[in-house]
Amino acid sequence: MFGIALGINPDDFKFVAKRPKSVVVGAVSQFLLLPAVTFLIVLLWQPPAPFALGMILVASCPGGNISNFISSISNANTALSVALTGFATLLTPIFTPLNFEFWSHAFSDTSAYLRTFEIEFIDILQTVILLLVIPLLAGLFVRKKFYRIARVIEKPIRILSLIILVGFIVIALKNNIHSFIDHIYVVFSLVLVHNAFAFAVGYLAAKTAKLPEAERRTVSIETGIQNSGLGLIIIFTFFDGNGGMAIIAAWWGIWHILAGLGLSYYFQYRDKHKNLKKTFEV
């Protein structure tokens, strides 16, 4: 988040004032619709409690940092993507612990399983503020006061953060490799379906709100690309690196990038096809 903030122009936040409807739709899609749809998937699929908790936790996290890049290559509205990343991060301290607390206790299996852990709403709240909000504000401060330094260190910090995220994913999978192999088809199917619904929910929410096509794509990407790194840290911190939860969050961290790239190429193909069709019609 510190690296992301170094690249955020304060003017990007003016987009919130210029297009409040788009930002609100994006936030509703991420923090209200996705957790609710995730609960329905869990209710219908009835996966083991640790897998279900992993899905609910991922759905409770804000959009992932790579969403800005995916938006930029999808002919989406990148300014809206950046604005949503910052805005969602500021909302995260409330909605991430609140959503996880509510939806994890709404399903009897996960509610019973949670009793084996001692975790309070305030604990997750403090962790989210420490990991997301403070680095975001610090990055904005450094960019404003030390602009030249911010420009120099922005790219190295982003690369470092990506390496750290990959490290978390590798550790999570390595520590649970036997469980992952034993349940690979279930995990793959769960994350595939869950992630597909996330992209679809974002796009349909934006379409229902009659947003322009570029903004529909942005909301879809922001909803489908989740901060699985935050989810893994919460799992490592409060759930002793629980195998089932860690596998879901780690595989999501890999899959949402692949799916996001695939979706971006689909959008590019659709745009080229549309342009060619217009050319022939002319």
Q: Any idea where the domains of the chain sit in the sequence?
A: 2-281
Q: For residue 12, what pLDDT is reported?
A: 63
Per-residue pLDDT band for 117 (boundaries 50, 70, 90) equals low
Looking at residue 277, its pLDDT comes to 52
What percentage of the chain exceeds 70 in pLDDT? 92
At 280 the pLDDT is 44
- Report phi then psi at 226, rounded to 5: -105, 155
Helix or strand holding residue 101 (H, E): helix 78-106
Kindly report the average pLDDT of the chain as a whole number.
84
Closest CA to 231 of 219, 211, 248, 208: 248
The confidence score (pLDDT) of residue 275 equals: 63
Report CA torsion sign: 154, 254, 233, 81.
positive
- Distance, in Å, from the CA atom of 231 to the CA atom of 83, rounded to the nearest integer, reads 22
Express each pLDDT in 55-66 by its tens digit. Answer: 999 999 888 778
Residue 160's CB: how many other CB atoms inside 10 A? 12
The amino acid sitting at 131 is L
Average pLDDT estimate for 17-27: 86
When comparing pLDDT for 171 and 15, which is higher? 171
CA distance 220 to 226: 11
Which pTM value belongs to this model?
A: 0.84
Q: Which has more pLDDT, 16 or 88? A: 88
One-letter identity of residue 213: E
DSSP per position, 241-265: T-HHHHHHHHHHHHHHHHHHHHHHH
156-166 average pLDDT score: 80
Rounded distance between C-alpha atoms, residue 99 and residue 29, angstroms: 13
**Which of the residue ranges 11-25, 127-141, 243-257 would you say has the lowest mean pLDDT?**
11-25
pLDDT value at position 145?
85
Q: What is the distance between the alpha carbons of residues 94 and 125, in angstroms, rounded to a whole number?
A: 7
CATH no. for 2-281: 1.20.1530.20
